[in-house]
């Protein structure tokens, strides 16, 4: 693990089914802008605290909290204490938690449960030890089971679905992550004025369409870097104009440059 000022990051993809990335970081001043992930974000904070907005509601992360942020829903994050924060994150794909749980997770993303918090910490310890993949998979199975049980109990009260137009635009952006789509073309395809598209999408998700698309591209870039693709080759494959374009948005959303991120990837 290497430092960038007072920032520390480590990222890797373990050989554990369902885990797309493990990300450990310490940030003293860095604040995440609004962005999205295409995976579930299972987060614990070891030092300090994080405050974040999810679906336009403010949340926080005390030490006994496990935070579960659903995919495709915009959120940000910033230090809530003077010394910053140290966090550990596991990104999970839909094989562990399906999209039917997104609504319940949006309603209550922070789980105050010291036992669950301990189990997530044990999962991270196993994920960090090469050769202990079976233990990590076993611990993940138990953690995911607890999460599903909690989310099912909330599902009966699942709240509103995204407006149809906003959802259709999101699906279009998801299908065009690399090549992109102009607002004019999106308007023709969805039979709506571009300005109305922006208002509908921002109103439903709390983030502008271009911010959503850039978050998806950065997520794709992270996966490519963890696969060992050199940073100089990632930009066009992930949908960025050039290396500078990738670096600017990657550092904005991840806190470090693609080169530093890849150098600390295991």
Q: Supply the pLDDT for residue 164.
A: 85
Which one, of 224, 221, 259, 227, lies nearest residue 239 by Cα?
Answer: 221
Q: Supply the pLDDT for residue 88.
A: 97
Q: Domains in the chain, please, with CATH?
A: 2-155 (2.60.120.10), 164-263 (1.10.10.60)
User: What span, in angstroms and rounded, lies between the C-alpha atoms of 247 and 109?
Assistant: 30
Q: Interior CA angle at 214 toward 209 and 215, to 5°?
A: 100
Q: Is 1 exposed, middle or buried (0-12, 13-18, 19+ CB in 10 A)?
A: exposed
User: What span, in angstroms and rounded, lies between the C-alpha atoms of 36 and 255?
Assistant: 15
**Each residue's pLDDT tens digit, 124-176:** 999 999 889 999 999 999 999 999 988 888 765 444 444 788 989 999 999 99
**Each residue's pLDDT tens digit, 44-62:** 999 999 999 987 788 888 7
DSSP 58-88: EEE--TTEEEEEPTT--EEEEESSTT-EEEE
User: What span, in angstroms and rounded, lies between the C-alpha atoms of 181 and 123?
Assistant: 40
Q: Supply the pLDDT for residue 265.
A: 66
Per-residue pLDDT of the chain (266 residues; tens, 9 = 90+): 334 446 789 999 999 999 999 999 999 989 999 999 999 999 999 999 999 998 778 888 877 899 999 999 999 999 999 989 999 999 999 999 988 888 888 878 999 899 999 999 999 999 999 889 999 999 999 999 999 988 888 765 444 444 788 989 999 999 999 999 998 899 999 988 887 888 888 888 888 899 999 999 999 999 999 999 998 899 999 999 999 999 999 999 999 999 999 887 66
Q: For the chain, give percent helix, strand, coil, nearest 5.
A: 45, 25, 30
pTM here?
A: 0.73
């Amino acid at each position: 693990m290497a430092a960038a000022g007072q920032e520390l990051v480590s990222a890797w993809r373990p050989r554990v089914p369902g885990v797309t990335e493990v990300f450990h970081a310490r940030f003293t001043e860095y604040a995440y802008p609004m962005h999205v992930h295409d995976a579930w974000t299972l987060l614990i904070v070891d030092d300090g605290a994080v405050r974040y907005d999810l679906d336009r509601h403010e949340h926080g992360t005390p030490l006994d909290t496990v935070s579960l942020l659903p995919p495709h829903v915009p959120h940000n994050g910033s230090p809530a204490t003077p010394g910053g924060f140290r966090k550990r994150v596991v990104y999970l794909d839909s094989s562990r938690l399906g999209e039917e749980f997104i609504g319940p997770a949006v309603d209550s993303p922070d789980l105050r449960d010291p036992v669950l918090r301990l189990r997530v910490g044990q999962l991270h310890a196993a994920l960090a030890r090469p050769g202990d993949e079976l233990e990590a998979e076993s611990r993940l199975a138990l953690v995911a089971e607890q999460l599903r049980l909690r989310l099912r109990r909330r599902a009966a009260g699942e709240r509103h679905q995204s407006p149809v137009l906003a959802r259709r635009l999101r699906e279009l952006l998801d299908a065009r992550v690399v090549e992109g789509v102009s607002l004019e073309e999106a308007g023709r395809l969805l039979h709506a004025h571009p300005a109305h598209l922006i208002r509908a999408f921002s109103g439903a998700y709390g983030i502008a369409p271009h911010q959503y698309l850039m978050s998806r591209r950065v997520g794709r870039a992270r996966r490519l870097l963890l696969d060992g693709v050199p940073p100089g080759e990632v930009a066009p494959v992930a949908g960025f104009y050039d290396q500078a374009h990738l670096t600017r948005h990657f550092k904005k959303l991840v806190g470090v440059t693609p080169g530093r991120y890849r150098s600390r990837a295991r």
